[in-house]
């Protein structure tokens, strides 16, 4: 019996079990807590696994339970499982594991930046601290007083808590509001990260690594409004256009000690060159691998399974058809009245491939302010051989979205409003 272990098989991680089972493996789940956090609970499918090992904080006991299965791999399903997977894999499957000594830099965004600097990889200017006075001194030293800033937790996910502070605005209330708050991964923000705001185009470089070789599974470009996702567009593997981006990402993965498994890197291409926003050492979330299959015929899930089955995996990919995910946006909190009518009309567009909108008429929607509120509203996937068709239907989706009727409610103080100026900042 060949066993594959998935730690926290939530979000896109729930695709591992059927893929491993189809390849002849027995999938086993390890959960890093007795139950998933609320944002991940709907995606958890324990019935897909032969058994579930629950980690209760005793690493030795969890290691013994997993080692007894003699697994071929121990991989993270989503962000909440990264730390535990990074602790178990070097002990159980050392040939298929990331560098154990640098585990912290793959989970903590402050430490991640310092690892890049130590390796000579260009990095964004930032400070991670629990002291507002330290931030003030750092801003003076970096000549960033009065500049646009990004303030965020160092160990969150899904743009939770990520806030743009425009030039001249007071960053302190944002800093104080995040510090000591429990985030959506159920972790307390014991520090807050403040960084210069990067300007440019934000890209996704999704990879699968083996023996320290980083293969590129897909390239995408984000469209964003403030910290809110607007779109995600698949790009071709073109070294003339994206070679610098790919080389930089591989250097960053080396600096972070990535040697095995999936990684989701977000990189801003600035006037000074590429700068890593962050790397998640796990699958691209939100079910992206199933859409990647449509665009390229491959995904991080598939590459992981094939490699574990002893097959060779390519270093690159082929874009077989153009694909774009269009994230729906609500600018108001309230009750939606005509969502089914709008969804039906979107479904009639020529390039429509998939709609994921969980709402029904009469449901309450929240003004979109981070990735989790985006996914709660929903998204549309467009796929077509002609990129012009994709662009036209993208515009049509936005026009139809504007017809959604939301009976507004008073704004909730803890929900930051959408930035009025479009930007492409970090997720």
**pLDDT tens track for 286-323:** 899 999 999 999 999 999 999 999 999 999 999 999 99
Q: What is the mean pLDDT of residues 399-424?
A: 59
- In this structure, the strands spanning 26-31 and 3-7 are parallel
pLDDT of residue 421: 28
With 90 as the cut, is the pLDDT of residue 332 above it? no
pLDDT of residue 416: 40
Distance CA(369)–CA(3), nearest Å, equals: 40
Distance CA(178)–CA(182), nearest Å, equals: 8
pLDDT of residue 411: 53
* Residue 288: other Cβ atoms inside 10 A: 24
User: What confidence tens digit (pLDDT) does each residue in 30-75 have?
Assistant: 999 999 988 899 999 999 999 999 999 999 999 999 999 999 999 9
Task: Say if residues 13 and 289 touch (Cβ distance below 8 Å).
Answer: no
Distance CA(249)–CA(372), nearest Å, equals: 26
Q: What are phi and psi of 24, to 5 degrees?
A: 95, 10
pLDDT of residue 263: 98
Residue for token digits 């989970």?
107
Distance CA(267)–CA(273), nearest Å, equals: 10
* 87, two tokens: 């602790």
pLDDT of residue 368: 79
The H or E element that residue 78 is part of is none
Q: What is the mean pLDDT of residues 167-188?
A: 86
Q: What is the mean pLDDT of residues 233-247?
A: 98
Of 104, 63, 99, 72, whose CA–CA distance to 3 is shortest? 72
pLDDT of residue 161: 77
pLDDT of residue 410: 61
Share of residues in the chain with pLDDT > 70 (%): 93
Calculate the alpha carbon distances from 86 to 29, 104, 215, 258 in Å. Answer: 15, 9, 20, 10
pLDDT of residue 38: 87
pLDDT of residue 331: 80
Distance CA(365)–CA(358), nearest Å, equals: 11
DSSP string, 36-66: --TTTGGG--GGGSSEEEEP-S-HHHHHHHH
Count of alpha carbons within 13 angstroms of residue 211, beta-carbon side: 5
- Domains in the chain, CATH or no CATH each: 3-97 (3.40.50.20), 125-196 (3.30.1490.20), 201-322 (3.30.470.20), 324-408 (3.90.1170.30)
Confidence of residue 157 (pLDDT cuts 50, 70, 90): low
pLDDT of residue 415: 43
SS3 8: coil
User: What confidence tens digit (pLDDT) does each residue in 375-397 have?
Assistant: 678 899 999 999 999 999 999 99
Q: Which residue has the higher pLDDT, 110 or 26?
A: 26
With 60 as the cut, is the pLDDT of residue 119 above it? yes
pLDDT of residue 159: 64
Length of the chain: 427
Determine whether 409 is exposed, middle or buried from the number of CB atoms within 10 Å of its CB (0-12, 13-18, 19+).
middle
With 80 as the cut, is the pLDDT of residue 7 above it? yes
DSSP string, 124-146: --EEEES-HHHHHHHHHHTT-TT
Q: What is the mean pLDDT of residues 129-149?
A: 93
What average pLDDT is seen over the chain? 91
Based on C-alpha coordinates, what's the Rg of the chain? 21
pLDDT of residue 370: 66
Of 342, 333, 356, 364, whose CA–CA distance to 43 is shortest? 356
* Residue 2: other Cβ atoms inside 10 A: 15
Range of weakest confidence among 89-98, 171-180, 267-276: 171-180
Share of residues in the chain with pLDDT > 90 (%): 77
Confidence of residue 265 (pLDDT cuts 50, 70, 90): very high
Q: What is the mean pLDDT of residues 92-107?
A: 96
Q: What is the dihedral of CA 156, 143, 224, 193, to 10 degrees?
A: 0
Task: Say if residues 218 and 283 touch (Cβ distance below 8 Å).
Answer: no
With 50 as the cut, is the pLDDT of residue 422 above it? no
pLDDT of residue 185: 67
Q: What is the mean pLDDT of residues 350-377?
A: 84
pLDDT of residue 286: 87
Confidence of residue 125 (pLDDT cuts 50, 70, 90): very high
């Amino acid at each position: 019996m060949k066993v594959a272990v998935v730690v926290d098989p939530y979000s896109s991680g729930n695709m591992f079990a059927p893929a491993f089972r189809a390849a002849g493996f027995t999938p086993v789940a390890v959960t890093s807590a007795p139950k998933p956090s609320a944002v991940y609970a709907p995606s958890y499918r324990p019935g897909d696994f032969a058994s579930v090992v629950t980690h209760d904080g005793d690493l030795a006991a969890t290691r013994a339970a997993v080692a007894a299965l003699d697994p071929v791999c121990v991989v993270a399903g989503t962000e909440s499982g990264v730390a535990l997977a990074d602790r178990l894999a070097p002990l159980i499957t050392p040939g298929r594991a990331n560098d154990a000594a640098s585990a912290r830099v793959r989970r903590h965004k402050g430490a991640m930046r310092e690892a890049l600097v130590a390796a000579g990889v260009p990095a964004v200017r930032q400070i991670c601290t629990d002291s507002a006075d330290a931030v003030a001194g750092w801003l003076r030293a970096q000549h960033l007083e009065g500049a646009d800033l990004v303030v965020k937790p160092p160990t969150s996910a899904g743009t939770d808590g990520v806030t743009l502070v425009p030039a001249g605005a007071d960053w302190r209330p944002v800093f104080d509001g995040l510090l000591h708050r429990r985030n959506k991964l159920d972790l307390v923000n014991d520090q807050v990260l403040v960084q210069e705001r990067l300007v440019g185009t934000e890209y996704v470089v999704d990879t699968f690594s083996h023996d320290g070789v980083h293969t590129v599974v897909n390239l995408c470009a984000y469209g964003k409004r403030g910290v809110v996702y607007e779109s995600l567009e698949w790009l071709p593997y073109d070294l003339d256009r994206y070679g610098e981006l790919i080389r930089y990402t591989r250097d960053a993965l080396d600096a972070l000690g990535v040697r095995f498994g999936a990684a989701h890197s977000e990189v801003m291409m600035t006037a000074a060159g590429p700068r890593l926003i962050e790397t998640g050492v796990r699958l691209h979330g939100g079910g992206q691998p199933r859409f990647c299959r449509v665009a390229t015929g491959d995904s991080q899930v598939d590459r992981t399974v094939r490699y574990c089955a002893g097959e060779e995996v390519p270093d690159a990919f082929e874009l077989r058809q153009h694909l774009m995910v269009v994230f729906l946006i609500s600018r108001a909190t309230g009750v939606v009245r005509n969502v089914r009518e709008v969804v039906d009309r979107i479904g009639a567009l020529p390039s429509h491939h998939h709609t994921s909108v969980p709402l029904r008429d009469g449901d309450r929607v929240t003004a979109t302010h981070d990735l989790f509120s985006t996914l709660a509203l929903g998204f549309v996937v467009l796929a077509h051989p002609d990129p012009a068709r994709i662009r036209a239907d993208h515009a049509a989706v936005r026009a139809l979205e504007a017809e959604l009727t939301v009976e507004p409610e008073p704004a909730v103080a803890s929900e930051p409003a959408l930035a009025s100026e479009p930007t492409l900042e970090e997720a």
